[in-house]
Amino acid sequence: MNSPTSTPSSSPGNDPRSRGRPAGVKDLAARDPLEHVEPGESQRPISLMLVIFLATLFSWAGYYAHRYGGGYEPLIYNENAYGLAAAKTNAAEKLDPYALGQRVFGNTCARCHQPDGLGLPGQYPPLAGSEWVLAPGPARMIRIVLDAVQGPIPVKGATFDNVMTPWRDTLNDEQIAAVITFVRTQKEWGNTASPVTPEEVAAIRAKTKARSAAGPWTVAELQALPDQEPNP
Ligand code: HEC
């Protein structure tokens, strides 16, 4: 922009084209702006910074969608699905199992047992006030969440004969312990049983590994068990 040719209004004495002209001869050309229109660049390349910025933005967006998209699965959101053990490394969740339990319940159990834990008459049994949930020990409930239970099953005086999904392969020990603790201690539902630890879940998971291939538990099998695990 400081080049002399682009500043026609600058003093003629400095203009290289007027050098050698006799003094007093006006350099009219220098005053005519049209004579001095420089050809401008008609195409400018996109700024490299902009290209880098957009590339970074798109890669980040792709990564974000992949990482947090839950596989675009509308019903099941599992933060471990892609091998990123978020629940294991997330210190905040470790400190607050209640929040984890609430989230797991909302994402996995509530669609059948309903957000208020009351279930749906004739289809899904209630967890609020259920004798299966409120048993003094969690041995049966841990098995139900790991491998599910098949009806007919009596719950609070009604009989249910539907299908529950097993969670052995989807939820880890922390998540199962947290959701069972959340359900057993949910005071708004009148549930005041004892909490459950990930270690208790891990012990029963290992002990029932072979049994899980046979499908959901039957009511008879569960009732034959002591509700407190003998050696946790
Ligand atoms: C696909 C629907 C479905 C989902 C999801 C589901 N359940 Fe169930 N659950 C059932 C059904 C149905 C039964 C009764 C079994 C039957 O009818 O065959 C049952 C039974 C139970 C029982 C024993 C009966 C009772 O009401 O106390 C417990 C405890 C239980 N579920 C807990 C859970 C928890 C905790 C979760 C979430 C991790 C969960 N369920 C997710 C459908 C579901």
CA–CA separation, 7 and 36 (whole Å): 9
pLDDT tops 50 at residue 4: no
Residue nearest to atom 39 of ligand 1 (CA): 109
Pocket perturbation via mutation, ligand 1, pick of 118, 124, 205 by most ligand atoms within 8 A of CB: 124
Per-residue pLDDT of 83-101, as tens digits, reads 445 445 554 445 578 889 9
- CB of 178 closer than 6 A to ligand 1? no
- Residue 7: the pLDDT is 44
pLDDT tops 50 at residue 12: no
Burial string for 14-32 (b: 16+ CB within 10 Å, else e) reads: ebeeeeeeeeeeeeeebee
- CB of 150 closer than 6 A to ligand 1? yes
- If pLDDT is split at 50, 70 and 90, which confidence band does 45 have? confident
- Residue 2: the pLDDT is 46
Pocket perturbation via mutation, ligand 1, pick of 149, 170, 196, 221 by most ligand atoms within 8 A of CB: 149
- If pLDDT is split at 50, 70 and 90, which confidence band does 25 have? low
Residue nearest to atom 13 of ligand 1 (CA): 164
Non-local CB neighbours of 103 within 8 Å, separated by 6+ positions: none
- CB of 144 closer than 6 A to ligand 1? yes
* Centroid of ligand 1 to alpha carbon of 199 (angstroms): 22
Residue that wins the pLDDT comparison between 2 and 34? 34
- Residue 72: the pLDDT is 66
- How large is the average pLDDT for residues 41-54? 86
- CB of 78 closer than 6 A to ligand 1? no
Main-chain dihedrals φ then ψ at residue 151, nearest 5 degrees: -75, 180
Residue that wins the pLDDT comparison between 164 and 66? 164
Per-residue pLDDT of 190-201, as tens digits, reads 999 999 999 999
CA distances from 203 to 20, 26, 181 (A): 102, 102, 16
Sequence letter at residue 161: D
Non-local CB neighbours of 107 within 8 Å, separated by 6+ positions: 76, 77
CA–CA separation, 209 and 184 (whole Å): 24
* Nearest atom in ligand 1 to 161's CA: 17
Exposure on the CB side of residue 80, measured as CA atoms within 13 A: 13
- Residue 84: the pLDDT is 47
What is the token pair recorded at 181? 């603790």
Q: What percent of the chain has pLDDT over 70?
A: 70
Determine which of 10-24, 33-47, 89-103 has the lowest per-residue pLDDT on average.
Answer: 10-24
- Say what the pTM is: 0.67
- CB of 130 closer than 6 A to ligand 1? yes
- CB of 222 closer than 6 A to ligand 1? no
CA–CA separation, 219 and 77 (whole Å): 29
- Residue 145: the pLDDT is 97
- CB of 132 closer than 6 A to ligand 1? yes
- CB of 172 closer than 6 A to ligand 1? no
- How large is the average pLDDT for residues 118-139? 95
- Residue 42: the pLDDT is 74
Per-residue pLDDT of 164-176, as tens digits, reads 999 999 999 999 9
Sequence letter at residue 130: S
Sequence letter at residue 175: Q
What is the token pair recorded at 95? 């400190």
CATH topology of domain 91-223: Cytochrome Bc1 Complex; Chain D, domain 2 (1.10.760)
- Cα diameter, the chain: 120
